């Protein structure tokens, strides 16, 4: 039972966005930029975003050398280069929108550790630089940095080469999400958390969103002119049938480490592992490839075997001879498919969706949101 006032003023919006992660918040902000007087609400089922937006490693990355070489087995050169360019544009939009200081951004590049099995990738370094020549102001994206192997303290019997990526950076995920939320609120965008969408009617001229409220017996109906679904790994719950699989990522964070030699961000093994220095600690994540079937889940749990492998690499590869104490462990849910291309689609008469960020949501979100709203405006 809803009151006259609720039905008149509180249950209809011009635009409803489902999902308060990076893509959802950027989408709402782009809508505000396009439609200054529109009513816009973002609904999120959890108190905090439930996917990877607040649980990632804070990498502002476009792809490592071995990762992009692997991608070329699944996509053409044009598709790979276009996806990298999209990531780069997304990061630039993010930085312009919020400012580097607000998100703790540092343009310091990254490094990829190559073991013996990875050395054939070096033969393609110049080839990849040529493919990506347009995205980095004419400068080479990749270069050898073997002289830093010892500087960082990596074991030379394991790390046979080090490749610098000059187009990547790092940021503070918590600051970024806080700044993005505050920016949206300042723009007059309403944010409802703890509002679980259980169903949508997407065939009507005006979409209808049904939200569960634990204080009411009946579902809360929100009607809108256009609906945007930005729920990444969880999209098939509302829009079934797409090539989309959740992928869980395992993460650990050490206690502060005295005289830590590492600075910046690092990748290895085709991007499946990633680590960084963070406030004198090591944040280390990855290992999904050790059990892809087991990690194809949307449950936020720890995987004991993968966490044990992270411990092993931490002590044998990243900090050889040391046994740092682990301060915390967590996991986050990403979204993958047959390719790493994000999906942007019209999913109903006035329903639009963007999802499957392929573990690159930080980089892609701002540009994907721009593309999604442009798609909707042309209908």
In DSSP terms, which residues pair with 266 in a beta bridge? 111, 275
Question: Averaged over 215-219, what is the pLDDT?
Answer: 92
Element (H, E) at 354: strand 351-355
pLDDT band at 138 (very low <50, low <70, confident <90, very high): confident
Q: What is the mean pLDDT of residues 116-123?
A: 98
The angle that helices 77-98 and 361-377 make with each other, rounded to 10 degrees, is 90
pLDDT exceeds cutoff 90 at 271:
yes
Average pLDDT, stretch 161-167? 97
- pLDDT band at residue 156, thresholds of 50, 70 and 90? very high
Determine the pLDDT at residue 285. Answer: 98
- pLDDT band for 359, please (50, 70, 90 cuts): very high
Mean pLDDT over 215-233 rounds to 96
Q: What is the model's pLDDT at position 21?
A: 97
Band of pLDDT at residue 237, cut at 50, 70 and 90: very high
Question: How would you classify the pairing of strands 110-114 and 169-170?
Answer: unpaired
Res. 204 pLDDT band, cuts 50 70 90: confident
Asked whether the predicted pLDDT for residue 279 surpasses 90, the reply is yes
**Whether residue 136 has pLDDT greater than 90:** no
* Average pLDDT score over the chain: 96
Q: Is the pLDDT of residue 35 over 90?
A: yes
Residue pair 114/159 in contact by the 8 Å Cβ criterion: yes
Q: What is the pLDDT of residue 1?
A: 83
Q: Quick one: pLDDT band at residue 89, thresholds 50, 70, 90?
A: very high
With vertex at residue 357, the alpha carbon angle to CA 332 and CA 140, rounded to the nearest 5 degrees, is 110
The pLDDT score that the predictor gives to residue 157 is 95
Mean per-residue pLDDT, 304-329: 97
Please give the pLDDT value at position 235.
97
Separation CA 39–CA 12 (nearest Å): 9
Q: How many percent of the chain have pLDDT more than 90? A: 94
d(CA 142, CA 163): 7
Q: Which helix (H) or strand (E) holds 13?
A: strand 12-18
Q: Is 296 helix (H, G, I), strand (E, B) or coil?
A: coil
């Amino acid at each position: 039972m809803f009151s006259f006032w609720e039905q008149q003023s509180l249950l209809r919006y011009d635009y409803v966005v489902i999902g308060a992660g990076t893509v959802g918040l950027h989408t709402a902000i782009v809508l505000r930029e396009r439609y200054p007087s529109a009513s816009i609400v973002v609904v999120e089922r959890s108190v905090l975003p439930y996917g990877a937006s607040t649980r990632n490693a804070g990498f502002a990355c476009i792809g490592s050398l071995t990762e992009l070489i692997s991608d070329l087995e699944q996509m053409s050169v044009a598709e790979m280069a276009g996806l990298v360019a999209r990531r780069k544009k997304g990061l630039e939009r993010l930085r312009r929108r919020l400012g580097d200081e607000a998100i703790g951004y540092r343009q310091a590049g990254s490094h990829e550790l190559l073991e013996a099995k990875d050395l054939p990738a070096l033969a393609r370094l110049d080839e990849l630089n040529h493919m990506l020549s347009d995205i980095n102001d004419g400068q080479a994206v990749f270069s050898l940095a073997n002289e830093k192997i010892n500087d960082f303290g990596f074991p030379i019997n394991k790390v046979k080469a080090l490749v610098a990526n000059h187009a990547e950076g790092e940021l503070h995920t918590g600051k970024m999400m806080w700044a993005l939320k505050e920016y949206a609120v300042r723009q007059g965008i309403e944010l409802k958390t703890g509002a679980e969408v259980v169903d949508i009617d997407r065939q009507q001229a005006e979409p209808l969103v049904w939200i569960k409220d634990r204080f009411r017996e009946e579902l809360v109906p929100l009607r809108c002119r256009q609906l945007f679904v930005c729920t990444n790994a969880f999209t098939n719950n509302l829009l079934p049938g797409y090539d989309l699989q959740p992928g869980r990522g395992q993460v650990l964070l050490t206690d502060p480490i005295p005289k830590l030699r590492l600075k910046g961000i690092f990748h290895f093994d085709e991007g499946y592992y990633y680590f960084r220095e963070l406030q004198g600690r090591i944040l280390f994540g990855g290992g999904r490839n050790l059990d892809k079937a087991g990690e194809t889940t949307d449950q936020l749990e720890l995987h004991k075997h993968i966490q044990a492998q992270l411990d092993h690499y931490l002590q044998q590869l990243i900090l050889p001879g040391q046994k740092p104490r682990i301060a915390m462990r967590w996991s986050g849910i990403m979204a993958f498919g047959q390719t790493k291309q994000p999906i942007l689609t019209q999913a109903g008469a006035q329903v639009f969706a963007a999802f499957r960020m392929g573990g690159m949501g930080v980089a892609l979100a701002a540009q994907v949101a721009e593309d999604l709203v442009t798609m909707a405006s042309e209908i």
